[in-house]
A and B are shown apart, each in its own frame.
Chain A
Amino acid sequence: MKGTNLGEFEELVLLTVAALMEEAYSVAICDELTEQTGRSVKLGVVHAVLNRLEEKGLVKSELGEATKVRGGKRKRFYQLTIPGKAALVSAKSMRDQLWDRIPSLVWKKA
């Protein structure tokens, strides 16, 4: 494990994996990210991130059933591991804490 610190994009990918549940494979993740964030996400980047997340042990992957589309190649499905979930939770709670620390005054002034 290379530490649980998540980069911003890593976090997004990890969240998407969690959101897509059973359908989390690279192309779907890529589409979902594009849709949700509105930025153009490159397949290669997603791949690299998924690979890094797997190395960190935050996701695990396995090959799905053979399909006729995709040139007969199987999909690699990703799933959150327990450390993965923990990392997301801790990331969220860290943010929440930080949010909580912002006095409401600040927002009003702005």
Chain B
Amino acid sequence: MEEPRSPQPPAWAQRFVEWYCKPGLVEDLTGDLHEYFERNVRSVGPRRAKLIYIIDAFKFFRTYTVRKPTLVNFFINWIMIGSYFKTSGRSLMRNKLFSSINIVGLAISMSVGLLLIAFVLDLRSYDRFHKQGERIYRITSVATFKGAQGGKFASTSLKTGKLIREKVSGFEEVAILRNDFTQDARVGDHVLPIKGFWAEPSLFRVFTFPMLEGNPDTALKDPYSVVLTETAARKLFGSEDALGKVIKFDTLDYQVTGVMQDVPFFSHINFEALVSLSTAEQLNRNDQNFEKWTSMFSNSVYLLLPPTADITAIQSQLDALAKEENLAEENTKIQLELLPLYDIVVGENLRSGSMSGSRGPHMPPIVLWILGGLAFVVILSACFNYTNLSIARAMRRFKEIGLRKAIGARKSQVWQQFLTEAIMISLAALLLSFFLFLVLRPQLINLAPEMQRTVKLDLTPSMVAAFIVFSVTVGVMAGLVPALFFSKVSAIQALRNVSKVKAFKHGTFRRTLVVIQYTVTLIFITTTVVGYVQYKNILAFDLGYTTENILNINMQGNKPDVLMKELSEMPEVTALSRSLIVTSVGNAWGGYMKYKDSRDSALVMTNNVDENYLPLHGYKLIAGGNFRARPTTASDAHEIIVNQQFLKRFNISASDPEKAIGEEITFSNFKMNDHKMTIVGVMKDFHYGKIENLIEPVAFTFWTPENGAIINAKIQSTDLLATMDKIESTWKKIDRVHPLKAKFYEEAIEEAYSEFSTMIKIIGFLSFLAISIASMGLFGMVVFTTETRLKEIGIRKVMGASDGSLVYLLSRGFLVLLSVSALIALPATYLLFENFVLRNFPYHTPVQIGELFAGLLAVLLIAFVMIGSQTMKAARSNPVKVLKSE
């Protein structure tokens, strides 16, 4: 020791001896070892000396040197925990204000955690009911289209399924599921819309969908057979036995060959009926595209692999298969991949084709991470409160700890006591937050319609267990810093003079916590305000045409003529038009177009509209005119109206749109090839897609009766409800089965951006929580500081200090902290929006400074009121009373 360079025995061996050795023997034993070591260094050198030391350290491990077995300690600890509970309970009762601030704060923040846990557990319980779930994989297609956006799709072609069955080895079963069997089932006079899939018998071998009646091996074999779920069967046939009965879909008879158990809620495949895939094959006999390699938007293929499957071998077979098929294709390249069943609901965000390749609920993990992160921040804020207030109260507890230590409490016992206290608080908070959870649960579920379809948030045993584990974790998180802080206190210091304890002067830590808390809170609230303003801007965005008072009625397959006639007779309806789709809400329709250069084809978004559509929606024509011809079939329609982007894309005299009139375009889509069309009008650019997309080339062609229809009705009414009733009763005359599907254009736009409003609601709610938690914490701190400084205030008053100067004195520190957090939070929010969030919106409005300050003001106002009220109270206190005591 006196020679700093002299070799030292291995520290870990020394610690090992100290760890196992009886406390009374530690000193002389390690001393002996040390002496031996030093002698050995001299005689045999440091290396061997170290080795001997280690050997001896182990040799000393004998019954008489080893401390009492840990079991006994453990037992003593258990007895001690009882005492910890008692003392913790007393301490909590003594400090009612602090305890309640901590419990309420933790409870509020924990309720968010509980909701998130329930949410995640629900999502993770998807598809777990399949007995062979771990071995089921879905085939996904990674497609690249020439001249258009590709991506990874959840769907694949029928051909893929069949090719796998023929050419791939090493799997147990393939099940092909074809999307969207959505038809009206007719049983006698009874009509009911039914949603389901086209499926094969192998479906029942891959998935666990128990059959109640009928044979699962044959039920989906023959064409025109249908398997109903129990509920669907009851809806259609009542109490009668459904098996063997006949249902009419369209004009064809289908036989019920099976009744199966209802599909569990937590299934990504959900249906009321399954119709044999062979039916689809019969119905599409003449469709050449039906079984094409590139018809990949409407089918799912699932593989059941054996338990010892070689995934890479199967993948390479799939690669080979895709390579061969791609050779024959010009415009599309498809690769196949395997996606485990359990990664479907919580997993990568897959694109869905126009026919919706991915079905059922879906949640990209990143969203869960973001939500988890936000919840964590809120919980952390409540933990900060706890930490802060416990350390602030330290002065009052120092004597207690000093005494404990003086009568022989070990360091570990002190921190155990403080952790117990924190965990007790968090368990108390759990009770409260559980009630909050019950209150908030329906709010969360009703937040968005998708939510209702995705989660139930029902309590399960594993959920309750997760709640308790979570609560204890939060308790440890909150109590860790105070526990370590207090366990370091030395008895002498604590008992001698509390105010001289060094650790107590470390206000920096607490101040840092307050700043972090307020920074987070401010970021939350400014984000909400800015996000809300941006959302409103999106809704009010000038799309390039008007959407005001336009009611879009989906004809749902009915011919629009009769309704058009009825509507036109209503005085409230001032104008009518027909279109194929509603634009600007995320719907898309399109085809490939070519100009003179036949090799340069591009995907162009389209809509089919009638001659009234442009004036009704106020589209601005900058050249040419509206449609003149009134064709009745798509192949007769040769007029096309395009936008400016279109001219730019094909380089058709963009500078002088007039010259574009009369130019010829070749149009191909899935219905027709190389259809010649002539430009008759040029529109000003407008937003066809949602506003996160750039303005694209768009072309309107004429709506013909073979198209599906949306009626766009301009409504001028003082009593909208009555008008809607009128329209609804008119609709009933036309279609008794399907309820009216009508939505005002603006409503539809609002719905299209519902994810934003949901996000804003969630962040808004979290920021509300963050504010209340931070406020409570600040309140506690203010009460505490003013209380501890009451004497000082008393003396200052006696010496003639004014109330105002005292308030300034007491609140100055807090105001500085708040300003610091504001200085961090505002630029942070600004940068967050300008650099990340709004990047995705090419047409956004810039963030206004005013919006940032609005949030800041709200938080600061609350803080000022709290600080002000408490400091005022202290400043006005009677110095006589304060100084008299003691």
Contacts and interface: CB of A to CB of B under 8 A. Distances in A.
A75 B36 CA distance: 13
Interface in A65-90: 68-76
Nearest to A51: B64
Nearest to A77: B28
A107 B30 CA distance: 49
Given A44-B60, A47-B60, A71 B31 contact: yes
Given A44-B60, A47-B60, A51-B64, A69 B38 contact: yes
A96 B407 CA distance: 54
A27 B32 contact: yes
Interface centre among A42, A71, A72, A76, by most chain B C-beta atoms within 10 angstroms, is A71
Contact of B2 (A25, A47, A68): A68
A62 B458 CA distance: 67
B56 A44 contact: yes
Interface string B1-39: 110000001000000000000000001111110111010
B1 A73 contact: no
21 contacts: A25-B28, A26-B28, A27-B32, A27-B35, A27-B36, A42-B59, A43-B32, A43-B56, A44-B56, A44-B60, A47-B29, A47-B32, A55-B64, A63-B27, A70-B34, A71-B31, A73-B28, A73-B30, A74-B28, A75-B28, A76-B31
A48 interface: yes
Given A43-B56, A48-B62, A48-B64, A71 B32 contact: no
B292 to A, nearest CB: 83
Interface residues of A, number: 21
Contacts of A44: 56, 59-60, 62
Contacts of B28: 25-26, 63, 73-76
Contact of B1 (A25, A55, A68): A68
A63 B27 CA distance: 9
Contacts of B2: 68
A71 B34 contact: yes
A22 B32 CA distance: 17
Contacts of A48: 62, 64
A72 B64 contact: no
Interface centre among B1, B9, B32, B60, by most chain A C-beta atoms within 10 angstroms, is B32
Interface residues of B, number: 19
A73 B2 CA distance: 14
A68 B38 CA distance: 12
Interface string A35-60: 00000001110011001100100000
Given A69-B35, A75-B31, 14 more contacts: A27-B32, A44-B56, A44-B59, A44-B62, A51-B64, A52-B64, A69-B38, A70-B31, A72-B1, A73-B27, A73-B30, A73-B34, A76-B27, A76-B31
Nearest to B58: A44
Interface string A89-102: 00000000000000
Nearest to A71: B34
A107 to B, nearest CB: 42
Interface string B58-80: 01101011000000000000000
Contacts of B1: 68-69, 71-72
Contacts of A72: 1
B78 to A, nearest CB: 30
Interface centre among A27, A70, A72, A76, by most chain B C-beta atoms within 10 angstroms, is A70
A94 B30 CA distance: 38
Nearest to B39: A27
A55 B25 CA distance: 14
B598 to A, nearest CB: 92
A9 to B, nearest CB: 16
Contact of B36 (A25, A43, A55): A43
A76 B31 CA distance: 9
Contacts of B60: 44, 47
Contacts of B35: 27, 69-70
A25 B35 CA distance: 12
Interface centre among B35, B59, B60, by most chain A C-beta atoms within 10 angstroms, is B35
A26 B56 CA distance: 14
A55 B64 CA distance: 10
The 10 closest A-B pairs by CB, nearest first: A73-B31, A76-B28, A71-B34, A70-B31, A44-B59, A70-B35, A70-B34, A51-B64, A26-B32, A73-B27
Contacts of A74: 27-28, 31
Nearest to A67: B31
Contacts of A70: 31-32, 34-35, 38
B56 to A, nearest CB: 6
A44 B34 CA distance: 13
